[in-house]
Structure 1
Amino acid sequence: MSGKPVLHYVSVRGRMEPVKWLLAAAGVEFEEKFVETKEDLQKLRAGGSLLFQQIPMVEIDGMKLVQTRAILNYIAGKYNLYGKDLKERALIDMYVEGLADLNELIMYHDFKPANEKEKNLASIFDKAMNRYLPVFEKVLKDHGQDFLVGNKLSRADVNLLETILVLEEFKPDALAKFPVLQSFKARMCSMPNIKKFLQPGSPKKPPLQEKEIPALLAIFE
């Protein structure tokens, strides 16, 4: 296919959200086709569009890409958000994979039983405040540049900003002890493409609501 990338996923946050963030940061317009029912998902599977029977799936450059990391790697490489050489790419991958561990905890929080949510949220904050955010505060401080790798925007910067903003939805003062990350967030949010993506009416999804969970689970049962 040609033209805009087409994103196939459910109409909530999840594994497609980092893809949208990366495309938006690159200034790339995209279309979304939402999987709204179990039948929609079965149709994609029956049509051979899902290599491993799973979404997200992105149609881009004549391919139907699945597996979130593969999708993100391709987009980052295509739009020059993946460093200038193998060394920079390794650093970007290292930072992104570290953030992935934290983002997995956050993504599954909404699906925890009610009696486990408080404990789970405390665990997320403990790991964020004591393991992950201090790392990126130090990386940016030691690097002495506006971005995590080199002096150019990469997928690692975009992923870090996305993670920070999600943490702040739970804990508005998450960056209180991290002045370098505060400055990083301000710079990133002022970049035109990202600023546009943060405006009301953009494809950026709001937090998952509890009332949405049953219909979402029914699609994948």
Structure 2
Amino acid sequence: MSKPKLHYFNGRGKMESIRWLLAVAGVEFEEEFLETRDQYEKLLKDGALLFEQVPMVEIDGMKLVQTNAILNYIAAKYNLYGKDIKERALIDMYAEGARDLMTLVMRLPFAPSEQKQSELIQINNKAKNRYFPAFEKVLKSSQTGYLVGNQLSVADLHLLEAILMIEDNTPHVLKHFPCLEQFKLKLENIQRIQKFLQPGSPRKSPPDDHYIKVVKEVLRF
């Protein structure tokens, strides 16, 4: 069986959560990085981007677009999506909350330079006053240390990813959230997550000026 092939920029963005899932599932994958407008237009011409958007993942004979659809498929395939419909509803709820927070961080590098500091302050305020208290409450009532049920799920991975993204800009942000601190430590000690967090893994670095430039040139915005 061929490896999944990921089509996106050489950076985090919306593809990073997909990389997390595949890595934790133990699935090797290939990546084709978008570096020019011509590459993007070729994908459009070939009909590979149904809604003219990336990320796109070739997997199991499909060319999947729409980030949530890709994430849900991979999570279900590799047993990271709960044991029944009720668990999946909770997983979706928590995962979407974490993605809302991650989306705020993803947009930050594209903001005008004079607005970045104020937007960073807003992001940190939302993390500390809205999102982290909600997840702290959920974890406080958990008997297993996971957000849902007794095993790792895509919601846990999204929350860890969101925490690490916030910590890139604001270290020690969890100092008033002991359950989240314990959760982070628990997940970081899982072997495949530990490996993904090491240098040389498929995990991407925070976006730099080159990444921003390429994204803007390819998507023309």
Q: TM-score, normalised by structure 2?
A: 0.97
Q: 1:47 Cα shift?
A: 1.0
CA RMSD of aligned residues (A): 0.9
> Following the alignment from structure 2 to structure 1, what is the Cα–Cα distance between the partners of residues 28 and 145?
26
SS in 2 for 1:99: helix
Aligned counterpart, 2:150: 151
Show structure 1 runs of 5+ residues with no match: none
Report SS of the residue matched to 2:6. Answer: strand
Question: Which residue is 1:27 aligned to?
Answer: 26
Rounded Cα–Cα distance in structure 2 between residues aligned with 1:112 and 1:199: 29
Deviation at 1:181, TM superposition (A): 0.9
Aligned partner of 1:196 in structure 2 is 195
Q: 1:219: how far off?
A: 0.5
| Distance in 1 (alpha carbons) for counterparts of 2:19 and 2:132 | 23
> Deviations 1:92-118 (Å, cap 9, x if unpaired)?
000011112211111100011111111
Give distance in 2, aligned partners of 1:166 and 1:104.
10
Any idea what SS the aligned residue of 1:162 has? helix
Q: Contact 2:10–2:211 (CA<8 Å) still a contact in 1?
A: no
Match status 1:67 vs 2:63: no
Equivalent in the alignment of 2:87:
88
Quick one: distance in 1 between partners of 2:8 and 2:118? 30
Give the Å deviation of 1:86: 0.5
Residue aligning to 2:132:
133
Whole-angstrom CA distance in 2 between matches of 1:142 and 1:215: 44
Does the residue aligned with 2:14 lie in a helix, a strand or coil? Answer: coil
Q: d(CA) in 1 for partners of 2:26 and 2:214?
A: 32
Q: Separation in 2 of the partners of 1:216 and 1:131? A: 30
Post-superposition Cα deviations, 1:133-154, rounded to whole Å, max 9, x if no partner, equal 1111110111222211001000
Q: Which residue matches 2:37?
A: 38
Give the 3-state SS of the residue equivalent to 1:19 in structure 2.
helix
Alignment of 1:159-170 (within 5 A): 159-170=158-169
Is contact 2:102–2:165 with CA below 8 Å preserved after alignment? no
User: Any idea what SS the aligned residue of 1:149 has?
Assistant: coil
SS of 1:161's partner is: helix
Residues in 1 aligned to 2:56 and 2:214: alpha-carbon distance in whole angstroms: 20
- Provide the residue aligned with 1:218 in structure 2: 217
- The one-letter amino acid paired with 2:44 is R
Shift of 1:87: 0.3
Q: What residue in structure 2 maps to residue 111 of structure 1?
A: 110
Looking at structure 1, the residues matched to 143 and 176 of structure 2 have their Cα atoms a distance apart, in angstroms, of 18
TM-score for both structures, normalised by structure 1: 0.97
What is the aligned length? 220
1:191 maps to a residue whose letter is I
What is the rounded CA distance, in whole Å, between the counterparts of 1:102 and 1:185 in structure 2?
16
Structure 2 residue ranges without an equivalent (≥5): none
Deviation for aligned residue 1:168: 0.7
Name 2:180's counterpart in structure 1.
181
3-state SS of 1:15 partner: helix
CA distance in 1, matches of 2:19, 2:212: 21
